[in-house]
Structure 1
Amino acid sequence: MLADLPSESYDADLEESWENERTATPVRAFAVRLHQTGRSIRETTTILAELGIERSHGAFWNWVHRLADSGRDPPTASPSRVAVDETAVKINEGWSWLDATIDTETKLILDVALFGRHGTDPAAAFLYGLREKHELPDAEFLVGQFVYRTALARLGLNGRVNSTDRNHIKKWFHTLKM
């Protein structure tokens, strides 16, 4: 869940690093963790802007580099079941697609990516990148009916349609959009 992310993203001992900031600590911690998963500063600020958090690239750069020496490495996982989903997000005047995965057992967000279009190619690119970041040789991917089923077949990954266990990622999207 998004509410659990701050405790995973920063240590309480680092609280003095965040003094005199106008952005809430959980938001900064989420942004830094998102950047650590491989998102660029521009991608991260775009995602934050979509959430209604308008900050300059310089402010975000300061958040990241203020914790560079004291931050932990991004988590890695070897999950057995991974829920995958996507949602449409409106950025400025256009629509983009936000793809995300979550380990259904630990509720750890494994990866998030923003694409300019919807389809099998972005879904396959997202799954390929996920496979590169985490050890997923025997993981079962829980997906929806359409593009992700095709992407799984294209990459030779194990998966099935599952609406119930994918609720974790759907709830995360709901929280993110709020």
Structure 2
Amino acid sequence: MQPTRTQSVLGTPVRVFAVQFHATGCSLRETKEILRILGVERSHQAVWHWVHRLADSGHNPPEAKPKRVAVDETTVKINGEWSWLYAAIDTETKLLLDVELFGRHGTDPAAAFLYRLSEKHDHSDAVFLVDGYGYQTALSRLGLSGRLDYVNRNLIEKWFHTLTMRVDRFHNSLAGSHGNVREWFIQFARYYNFQRPHQALDGRTPVEEVTN
């Protein structure tokens, strides 16, 4: 059996297991403790290096050309203060196109997020499904096509629900710097795209759906 890209980057099953556990919501110290319970003694610093080695490996979603993109934001509490996590998902392939953390919400953050998307993916044929909160103005500003849609956007709501369940299992308020929390969200997005089988895709991951 050929090793997966995660295995080739991290080297051993223990490291792969630790990174996957961290992606599902455990902090680095919680991941270290789980490894200890399983009889594997590793330092907090070692787990940190494994996670960031994967982050530095270019483990990003492939460039996509979606037809319909659901966009939304949700609130997250970091050190007791509220921030906003923006996310976009291809409703056909279920590929999470991007996530980004902002200190506020509204038209300007929405426009900045949509501009990031246009830099990463081909949206020439895409219709953005939005709920109106600053998005319509942002879409017009960038010359992108979109419409209000309160029905077909449920996939992005489901992703936020999955994310919230992971966070709520371990934290009432995420701790750490804004940059560290942002990195955790990016890691979780990679886990969702590359490793988490999707029932609607007959057990394939979103990346497998896009690339096969």
TM-score of the superposed pair, with normalisation by structure 1: 0.70
- What 5-or-longer segments of structure 1 have no aligned partner? 1-9, 31-47
CA distance in 2, matches of 1:105, 1:153: 24
State whether residues 10 and 53 of structure 2, in contact with CA within 8 Å, keep that contact through their aligned partners in structure 1. no
CA distance in 2, matches of 1:66, 1:132: 23
> What secondary structure sits across from 2:137 in the alignment?
helix
- What 5-or-longer segments of structure 2 have no aligned partner? 30-43, 166-212
CA distance in 2, matches of 1:16, 1:130: 28
Measure how far apart 1:61 and its partner are.
3.9
For structure 1, which segment, 11-20 or 107-116, has the greater mean C-alpha deviation from structure 2 after superposition? 11-20
State whether residues 102 and 109 of structure 1, in contact with CA within 8 Å, keep that contact through their aligned partners in structure 2. yes
1:93 aligns to 2:74 (yes or no): no
In structure 2, do the counterparts of structure 1 residues 165 and 68 end up closer, same or farther at CA, with 3 Å as the change threshold? Answer: same
Q: Quote the residue 1:17 is aligned against.
A: 11
Measure how far apart 1:54 and its partner are.
4.4
Q: Quote the residue 2:89 is aligned against.
A: 102
Measure how far apart 1:23 and its partner are.
6.1
In structure 2, do the counterparts of structure 1 residues 11 and 153 end up closer, same or farther at CA, with 3 Å as the change threshold? Answer: same
Match among 162, 168, 171 for residue 175 of structure 1: 162
Q: Root-mean-square deviation (CA), in Å?
A: 3.0
Aligned residues: 148
1:122 aligns to 2:114 (yes or no): no
CA distance in 2, matches of 1:111, 1:151: 17
State whether residues 100 and 112 of structure 1, in contact with CA within 8 Å, keep that contact through their aligned partners in structure 2. yes
> What secondary structure sits across from 1:20 in the alignment?
helix
Structure 1 moving runs of 4+ over 4 Å: 10-16, 21-25, 54-58, 66-69
Measure how far apart 1:25 and its partner are.
4.7
Measure how far apart 1:118 and its partner are.
1.0
1:82 aligns to 2:56 (yes or no): no
State whether residues 88 and 96 of structure 2, in contact with CA within 8 Å, keep that contact through their aligned partners in structure 1. yes
Q: Quote the residue 2:129 is aligned against.
A: 142
1:63 aligns to 2:51 (yes or no): yes
TM-score of the superposed pair, with normalisation by structure 2: 0.60
Measure how far apart 1:62 and its partner are.
2.9
CA distance in 1, matches of 2:47, 2:15: 10
Q: Bigger radius of gyration, 1 or 2?
A: 2
CA distance in 2, matches of 1:67, 1:120: 30
For structure 1, which segment, 59-68 or 141-150, has the greater mean C-alpha deviation from structure 2 after superposition? 59-68
CA distance in 2, matches of 1:98, 1:119: 12
Measure how far apart 1:75 and its partner are.
1.3
Q: Quote the residue 2:150 is aligned against.
A: 163
State whether residues 18 and 25 of structure 1, in contact with CA within 8 Å, keep that contact through their aligned partners in structure 2. no
CA distance in 2, matches of 1:57, 1:162: 45
State whether residues 17 and 66 of structure 1, in contact with CA within 8 Å, keep that contact through their aligned partners in structure 2. no
Q: Quote the residue 2:182 is aligned against.
A: none
State whether residues 19 and 51 of structure 2, in contact with CA within 8 Å, keep that contact through their aligned partners in structure 1. no
CA distance in 1, matches of 2:48, 2:84: 23
